[in-house]
Amino acid sequence: MYEHDVIVVGAGGAGLRAAIAAQEEGADVAIVSKLHPVRSHTGAAEGGINAALREGDSWEDHAYDTMKGSDYLGDAPAIETLCKDSPKETIQLEHWGMAFSRDDDGRVSQRPFGGLSFPRTTYAGAETGHQLLHTMYEQLVKRGIKVYDEWYVLNLAVSDEEVPEDRSCHGIVAYDIQSGEVSGFRARNGVILATGGPGQVYDHTTNAVANTGDGVAMAYRAGVPMEDMEFIQFHPTTLPSTGVLITEGVRGEGGILYNENGERLMFEYGYANNAGELASRDVVSRAELTEINAGRGIEDEYVHLDMRHLGEGRIIDRLENIVHLSEDFEGVDPLEEPMPVKPGQHYAMGGVETDENGETCITGLYAAGECACASVHGSNRLGGNALPELIVFGRRAGAHAAGKDLGTAKITTGKRGEWEAGEVDTPVAPGEVRSSNEDAVADGGKAPDAGEPSDAKRASSRAERSDGGAVATTGDEIVTRAVEAENRRIERLMTKNEGVQHAEIRSEVQKSMTRHVNVFREKEGLKQALRDLREARERYTDVYVNDPSRTYNTDLIQTIETRNILDLAEAITLGALAREEFRGAHWRKEHQERDDETWLKHTMLSWNDGSPELWYKPVILEGEDKTYEPKIRSY
């Protein structure tokens, strides 16, 4: 067993920032990550960091733009925290040596971006994420923070009280990919999840293969609700054949979208008469697909993004990376011809429910970055708001976990504040598949006898304890118990000799989600996706790992990841089926209107003894000095 004050799971932007902040508070901190830090997908972020740094701009304007972009589903305390902290955090990166692009006077450059009323997107060419990630990893090396790299976190070690809000997190269980060792990691103060997005739920995504939503799935199964999972951002400009991202910066610098007839579609068909190509991402993605569905797409698949008129000098200065990506992955030289682009899955607005200090409803468990949902982005994230989210909330979660007092959060977590029960009519039972087959890998990825203790079992084990269950057990015991359960799970996966392989299940889930739970959603398609997911879950009970080796067994890791993908895919689909309105990135064929009367609330899903329980909590529109009134959203 390894022991630290604070353990951070994941080493992308949020994880690194959290570790640095925890250490600055004096904590002994360690990062556990399935990838070496510089391999994190934060490195692929291109566009920039929104921060109100200049004369004529203000954090209030940034907050207003963010709230409008969220289609009024963001929580004001979280949004205002982001916009207030972002300038300081952005300059902190510069003080750490980050190579921002520069203006003539030597200050950091900013560019216009979608949905912003001021050009406040602070950038480093079209490789802002790469520069940010490496700058922060450099700081980690400088500070000598311990990194357990290529350790795959299997589960959280959480106590088992009846009500999630009473539970506490004492550490994690992780698997050393290189050696096959399973070990407990005891966290004396807290565990911070910073595991990034769930892009692998889809097959056309900008996300890395490692983005499988592990943190969200683990927190969910430990009792933390998932919030607003149906809101998936589809980025309007990704390369058709691979899903590689073409930054919004291209449009920010003046790039234009054309349909097959060479029409400037955003204006020609009135999708956004003012902002045009720089409307928010949900608007532009829908516009492109509408064009394609109307037969005005190129090869019935994509539209053109043209930046040739910007001139080679400006392109190479500010967007050079895009030239490389377009050439290498689509064989198109954007200096000579327009780039083919189509919408692709890019970002999950939802995730682990946290407050504006990064804390979840389970004591000692925190989350930050894309895997968390405070909620800053509501139903649609603005371009340039993800990188500040990483550094602002990464820092807050890290400092908070290490004991810094950030004041009382205005956002409540779990069922502590106002909430209402929800209902959704599903064609099949969602959640865990109970299998009586001795040989089956139970859907929880655990042996049936080591599953989530049932209520009866919980009650009896509590009764046996002399303290009547007021205090579960010591943290060490909780971690040890979790290690035993994970060892059994791996044993079971490894000893099974035949059955289904994860790749098959994974690709079916990705296909179904891409087909039915995409930019445009309709009731029947969503129901079909739930059926497909049920089938995938049933097949997963028969999953086995073919590679017998304990050395660098990626077969095993991907099998476990697939289980996480299943949980997240189901949550996304359930939320999408339940929400009968059109808001932000969530478009429903049957419900073409935003319905503030009924739906100004967050979709919550809790893992309740093996099945998802749907409930809702209200959105907080009251900011520090003003209340944000929902208005008609047009660009």
Partner 1 sequence: MSTQVPETQEADESEAETQAESVPVAQQQRQQRKTDRRERVAERERERTEEETASDESRYHLKVFRYDPEVEGKQEPRFDEFHVPYHKGMTVLDALIYARDHFDSSLTFRHSCRQAICGSDAMFVNGSQRLCCKTQLSDLEEPVRVEPLPHQEVVKDLVVDMEHFYDQMKAVEPYFQTNDLPDGELDEQRQSRENREKVKMSTRCIWCGACMSSCNIAAGDNKFLGPAAINKAYRFAMDEREGSDMKEHRMRILEQEHGVWRCQTQFSCTDVCPKDIPLTAHIQELKREAVKNNLKFW
Residues annotated as catalytic are: 281
Beta-ladder partners of 342: 238
Closest contact distance (angstroms) between CB of 368 and partner 1 is: 20
**How many residues sit close enough to partner 1 to count as binding (CB under 8 A)?**
71
β-strand 182-193 against 2-9: which pairing, if any?
parallel
Q: Which stretch binds partner 1 (CB under 8 A): 403-411, 456-464, 546-554, 607-615?
A: 546-554
Is residue 149 within 8 Å of residue 39, measured between CB atoms? no
Phi, psi of 571 (to 5 degrees): -65, -40
Q: How far is CA 271 from the centre of its chain?
A: 28
Q: Which residue has the tokens 């340039």?
A: 384
Scanning residues 316 to 375, which ones bind partner 1 (CB under 8 A)?
A: 316, 324-325, 327-331, 333
Distance CA 138, CA 73 (A): 36
Q: Which residue has the tokens 């992955």?
A: 329
Beta-ladder partners of 121: 50, 111
Scanning residues 137 to 166, which ones bind partner 1 (CB under 8 A)?
A: 138-139, 141-142
Q: Which stretch binds partner 1 (CB under 8 A): 85-93, 408-416, 532-540, 602-610?
A: 85-93
244 binding partner 1? (CB under 8 A): yes
> What six digits make up the tokens of 45?
């972020």
Closest contact distance (angstroms) between CB of 375 and partner 1 is: 27
554 binding partner 1? (CB under 8 A): yes
Scanning residues 184 to 213, which ones bind partner 1 (CB under 8 A)?
A: 208-210
550 binding partner 1? (CB under 8 A): yes
Which letter, b or e, does each residue of 325-351 get, where b requires 16 or more Cβ atoms within 10 Å of its Cβ? bbeeebebebeeebbbbbbbbbbbbbb
Measured from the CB atom, is 142 or 589 closer to partner 1?
A: 142
178 binding partner 1? (CB under 8 A): yes
Measured from the CB atom, is 505 or 571 closer to partner 1?
A: 505
DSSP three-state, residue 493: helix
> What six digits make up the tokens of 305?
């993004």
43 binding partner 1? (CB under 8 A): yes
Contacts of 280 (CB under 8 A, 6+ apart): 69, 114, 115, 380, 382, 383, 635
Instruction: Please report which residue ranges of 236-311 form alpha helices under DSSP H.
Output: 249-252, 265-268, 281-293
Measured from the CB atom, is 142 or 434 closer to partner 1?
A: 142
Measured from the CB atom, is 139 or 159 closer to partner 1?
A: 139
Is residue 606 within 8 Å of residue 431, measured between CB atoms? no
Contacts of 88 (CB under 8 A, 6+ apart): none
562 binding partner 1? (CB under 8 A): no
Contacting partner 1 (CB under 8 A), which of 70, 81, 121, 135?
Answer: 135
Measured from the CB atom, is 194 or 485 closer to partner 1?
A: 194
Measured from the CB atom, is 71 or 253 closer to partner 1?
A: 253
Closest contact distance (angstroms) between CB of 555 and partner 1 is: 5
Distance CA 576, CA 634 (A): 23
555 binding partner 1? (CB under 8 A): yes
Is residue 98 within 8 Å of residue 391, measured between CB atoms? no
Question: Which residues in 475-570 belong to E strands, given as ranges?
Answer: 520-521
313 binding partner 1? (CB under 8 A): yes
Contacting partner 1 (CB under 8 A), which of 66, 70, 131, 237?
Answer: 131
Measured from the CB atom, is 206 or 413 closer to partner 1?
A: 206
For the window 91-130, what string marks contact with partner 1 as x by the rule CB under 8 A? Answer: xx-xxxx-xxxxxxxxxx----------------x-x--x
Q: Which stretch binds partner 1 (CB under 8 A): 34-42, 389-397, 455-463, 468-476?
A: 34-42
